[in-house]
Structure 1
Amino acid sequence: MERKHSSPMAPTFMVSAPGKVIVFGEHAAVYDKPAIAAAISLRSYLLVTTLSKSRRTVQLNFRDIGLDHTWEIDTLPWDVFHQPSKKRFYYSTVDSLDPQFLEAIMPHAEAVSRHLPEKQRKIHIKSATAFLYLFLSLGSSKSPGFIYTLRSTIPIGAGLGSSASVCVCLSTALLLQIRALAGPHPDQPADQAEMQIEHINRWAFVGELCIHGDPSGIDNTVSAGGKAVMFQRNASGPPSVIRLTKFPKLPLLLVDTQQERSTAVQVEKVKKLKTNFPEITEMILDGIGKLATSALGLISSADFFANSDALGHLGTFISINHGFLVSLGVSHPRLERIRELVDYANIGWTKLTGAGGGGCAITLFRTDIEDQTTQELEQKFTAEGFKTYETILGADGVGVLLPAVFRSGDGKAAEEIDQEKFENADGVQGINELVGVGARENREGWEFWTRDVSPR
């Protein structure tokens, strides 16, 4: 593949968005109890390269799932998407997919990865569907060609919001390309930043609709705005969402059990328990909801870090929440092994995150932990087949590196992102070292939209 195709009039740029974990409220949220989800510093990264005007193709290269496909721009169904009666604007609120749009793009989405096994190919088709739906909704048939290169440091299929992170990256990039976004910049008014994050969030939700069919919208909301949100389902309308913009950044150990699990199976397990033992199950679910509410009060207090007991209280809430989830029957021996090792090392407080039955666990670190203790624990996890990630809870939301150049405060020459190096960066560490948000202290470039507190 040729390199350096970018046009001088449209410099290469990069977008990044975080994954998320459920901190409090799994399963209880299904029964209209409050829950808290927070962004983590594991992120997706999207490099956008503009081709010369003579190259009329658009390429989606998602290296980490093996998806790489190129479409001819002029063969895409622009006429269907741009009918006067159906035209969507960047500020449109889209909460459902148009069947005619889906029908028009499916032949193009289904053209991907024909050589792969059906299970993997279905994942690629969903990704392609989300991309094409957004590209045709927000783009133009007269636009030049592009290469959209995606890399991710978020474990895929582990309940950490990886697809929402990708959709936030894609919607941000497309909105930037049609100049529907200004910023982000340090002096941007809070109301303007809030409005732009919501534009990004709305279109990311459209991508999530393509992938998941009936998403809650929480993953993309956390990924777009960062920090954390408290959400609660409402039987008679949309969920209540409180954006926790003062959520503290806290060190977190994420451990992936590498154990496959089914969200539907775990949800059905709790449903059956509630049918057989309604009063007891309701007490457990109510307790989980009250933990989320108590955590909100703790986090919203005057100064979380000024209160020497605050971290310990939050950690205790995490441990209690895990106990409730065990009582609901949604843990797993490998999740309990993680908790056992953490408790023995006495480094913090642990709970499963997500549906359970496998997936991941999170550990909130105590403040007085020595690096050697953490390293020894992580070695034990690796020896037993777990995968560990040291990350930050309450991370920043969507960010932009425009142009895709890093500048160092030490006076050295600017460092342009090389597409070939980006594609071939080796794993999480390689991606972080090359383009990671906050990976190098003296590297300048990434800018983030910062939203104001706004109950919804």
Structure 2
Amino acid sequence: MNSAHPAQNGNSPRPPGLTRKSSSPLMPAYMVSAPGKVIVYGEHAVVHGKAAIAAAISLRSYLLVTFLSKSRRTVSLRFPDINLDHTWNIDDLPWAAFSDPTKKKYYYDLVTSLDEDLVEAIQPHITCVSPHIPEQQRRIHQNSAAAFLYLFLSLGSQKSPPCVYTLRSTIPIGAGLGSSATIAVCLSAALLLQIRALSGPHTDQPPDESALQIERINRWAFVGEMCIHGNPSGVDNTVSSGGKAVYFKREDYSKPPIVKALRDFPELPLLLVNTRQQRSTAVEVAKVGALKKAHPRVAELLLSAINDVTESAHSLISAEDFDPDDPAALKYLGELITINHGLLVSLGVSHPKLERIRALIDHAGIGYTKLTGAGGGGCAITILKPEAIAHPTDTTNGHQTNGANGHTPKGKSPILQDLERKLDAEGFEKFETTLAGDGVGVLWPAVLQNGSGEEGGEEIDQEKFLNAEGDKGIEALVGVAVSRREEEGEVREGWKFWRP
């Protein structure tokens, strides 16, 4: 880890007795949070200009921004869940390249590609990150650093305040749940908040204004995703920014994508099973590209068929008389899930572990299953049939109060309990969650108020945040859903969301 000494920042030694008094932090700490996602229909096809439907899930990332005294002149990136901890001297960063009038981008700009000169300018500041760890982990660290530095230099200035950006997440990495997009969304929102380029969120904010703020966050989150993935579809950062569910289609990368919010997307209980099989999004996307090159007609037919599946689901959900509680509607959506998975298998992006999960669930007869995300490992999702759940998970205000992040819902059916024992026995990791929750949220300042109306509240400092143990610890300390767990006596408020 690099560090800065005051003398390195141009501060000359002071005579004894005249030691500089430490200045106070410039601003109180604050937090941002963004949800993971699952692609319900259309993965891989979306990369090739087809439609996809994606929905937010209740697994989230949380970013704490802690301000240092202005004399420090450093910026740090800390992701303890992946053992990343690196500090840069602010004054040593390549500000001149990013402030070049021919290169400069503004917070309201649409950036559709990375500037190669700017990418090259930050390389020396990326390659020094975690140089001596194994390649796979080093790549994750350096991709995270690249996204952070590109955004920090694009949106900030050499006068940016010294800060520590600490991120914790309840989302499995490399599992097709958009974990990298949540990082990009959190960083984008945090940096835009720092330069006062966002208004709100507040409860009486007009929907159009909320939508504009989400779009600003989303545009820069896409830039962060480009730093990590090279050629992302944009669907992950879009649904993580806006929450709920979206219909997404990007036919021309020089233009904004077609994005339609699906506010009536049913908030269905979802069984999410992680294969624990690591895979690379880029590798799986390249597989489909190679198939398309070798067998253009067949590959195009498969991609078009996936598009038809997505459009069929979109037509049903968008219909004026759509009833999310209608069993026939759920059956229709479930059958499309099954068809979509079969087409993805034909594209060559499944994995034996995914097929094993699907076999176990199909044998139990409790829902409709498909891979989600890039495939090749990662996760499978199952929309549960109503009869598979003895007592549906309680929700308040559209949010799951039991089941998220490994909490055990009450009243499971014997069939579901038996299935979970089998999944555990074979080493799979399961989560029970819901679809279509809130998108990016803000806790400013980083204080969660108790529900009794008393003065004050619990301040979330870096020590508490770092010491939270595992997913349950993070959720108990700062979880977005914590204020909704009334039966657990944890009514705390503070998080606010842009809701278009």
TM over 0.5: yes
Partner of 1:245: 263
SS at match of 2:91: helix
Asked if 2 retains the 8 angstrom alpha-carbon contact of 1:6 and 1:50, the reply is: no
The residue that corresponds to 1:135 in the other structure is 152
Partner residue, 1:372: 412
CA apart distance, 1:274: 6.0
Counterparts in 2 of 1:237 and 1:111: CA distance versus 1, 3 Å: closer
Helix, strand or coil: the match of 2:114? coil
8 Å CA contact retained: 1:36, 1:229: yes
State the distance in 2 between where 1:325 and 1:202 align: 29
Q: Given the alignment of the two structures, is residue 117 of structure 1 paired with residue 166 of structure 2, yes or no?
A: no
Question: Which residue does the alignment assign to 1:228?
Answer: 245
What is the one-letter code of the residue matched to 2:342?
G
d(CA) in 2 for partners of 1:275 and 1:97?
A: 26
Structure 2 residue corresponding to 1:426, chosen from 438, 458, 469: 469
Conservation of the 8 A alpha-carbon contact between 1:17 and 1:44: yes
- CA drift of 1:201 comes to 0.9
- Partner SS, residue 438 of structure 1: helix
Aligned residue among 288, 307, 310 for 2:326: 307
Alpha-carbon RMSD: 2.5
Q: What amino acid is the match of 2:332?
A: H
Kept in 1: contact 2:26–2:69 (CA 8 A):
no
Of the structure 1 ranges 44-53 and 274-283, higher mean CA displacement relative to structure 2 is found in 274-283
Q: Give the residue type in structure 2 aligned to 1:46.
A: L
Q: 1:336 to 1:113 in 2, by over 3 A?
A: same
Q: Which one has a bigger Cα radius of gyration?
A: 2
Gaps in structure 1 of 5+ consecutive residues: 452-456
Write the deviation string for residues 339-360 of structure 1: whole angstroms up to 9, x where unpaired.
2222233332111112323221
Query: Which protein, 1 or 2, shows the higher relative CO under an 8 Å CA cutoff with sep ≥ 6?
Result: 1
Percent of aligned positions that are identical: 64
Q: Is the 2:29–2:461 contact (alpha carbons within 8 Å) kept by the matching residues of 1?
A: no
Deviation of 1:216 after TM superposition, in Å, equals 1.7
Q: 1:167 to 1:30 in 2, by over 3 A?
A: closer
2:444 to 380, 402, 406: 402
Contact 2:176 2:375 in 1 (8 A): no
- The one-letter code sitting in structure 2 at the alignment partner of 1:324 is L
Q: 1:386 aligns with which of 407, 411, 428?
A: 428
Where structure 2 has 5 or more consecutive residues not aligned to the other structure, the ranges are 1-21, 391-410, 485-490
Q: 1:330 to 1:193 in 2, by over 3 A?
A: same
Whether 1:79 and 2:96 are equivalent positions in the alignment is yes
1:209-288 equivalent positions in 2, closer than 5 A: 209-234=226-251, 238=255, 239-263=257-281, 266-267=284-285, 270=288, 282-288=300-306
Question: Is 1:51 aligned to residue 93 of structure 2?
Answer: no
Partner of 2:401: none
1:275 is displaced (CA, Å) by: 6.9
Deviations 1:350-404, CA, capped at 9 Å, x for gaps: 1111232322100112234033334443232122111111122112111101111
Looking at structure 1, the residues matched to 48 and 139 of structure 2 have their Cα atoms a distance apart, in angstroms, of 31
**Which of 333, 348, 356 matches 1:337?**
356
Q: How does the TM-score come out when normalised to structure 1?
A: 0.90
User: Does 2:45 match 1:34?
Assistant: no
Contact 2:57 2:433 in 1 (8 A): yes
Greater CA deviation, 182-191 or 368-377?
368-377
Change (3 A) 1:437 1:375: farther
Using the TM superposition, give the Cα deviation of residue 270 of structure 1 relative to its aligned residue in structure 2, in angstroms. Answer: 4.9
Q: 1:94 aligns with which of 111, 114, 118?
A: 111
Partner Cα separation in structure 2 for residue 419 and residue 282 of structure 1: 50
Cα offset, 1:234, TM superposition: 2.2
Question: Given the two structures, how large is their TM-score scaled by the length of structure 2?
Answer: 0.83
